């Protein structure tokens, strides 16, 4: 599995990258899927889980700043 590109603006351009924290981002993978880099908030939202949305043992809920998705909106493929 390889990362093809980052969608939207870079974490530095968005002001989301610091020397202390990571760099939240949306990545397009070579198989057509997407991956996100964000803060693991699984434990905080566990009690608020939606009926149709659950995490498997190998999954995590991550928090991605709103500006990351807004900046990437135009980079998502139509299909």
pLDDT digits (tens, 9 = 90+) for 51-68: 777 788 899 889 898 999
Looking only at the bridges linking them, the beta strands covering 3-6 and 25-29 are antiparallel
pLDDT average, residue stretch 19-43: 87
- Please give the model's pTM, rounded to 2 decimal places: 0.79
Confidence at 20, pLDDT banded by 50, 70, 90: low
How far apart CA 61 and CA 54 sit, in angstroms, is: 9
Q: CA–CA distance from 70 to each of 7, 12, 14, 52, 64 (Å)?
A: 10, 15, 11, 25, 11
Structure tokens at 23: 């760099």
How far apart CA 69 and CA 26 sit, in angstroms, is: 8
Model pLDDT, residue 48: 61
């Amino acid at each position: 599995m390889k990362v093809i590109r980052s969608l939207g603006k870079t974490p530095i351009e968005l002001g989301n990258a610091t020397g202390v924290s990571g760099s939240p981002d949306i990545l397009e993978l070579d198989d057509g899927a997407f991956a996100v880099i964000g803060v693991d908030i699984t434990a905080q939202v566990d009690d608020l889980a939606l009926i149709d949305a659950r995490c498997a043992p190998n999954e995590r809920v991550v928090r991605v700043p709103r500006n990351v998705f807004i900046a990437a909106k135009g980079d998502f493929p139509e299909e």
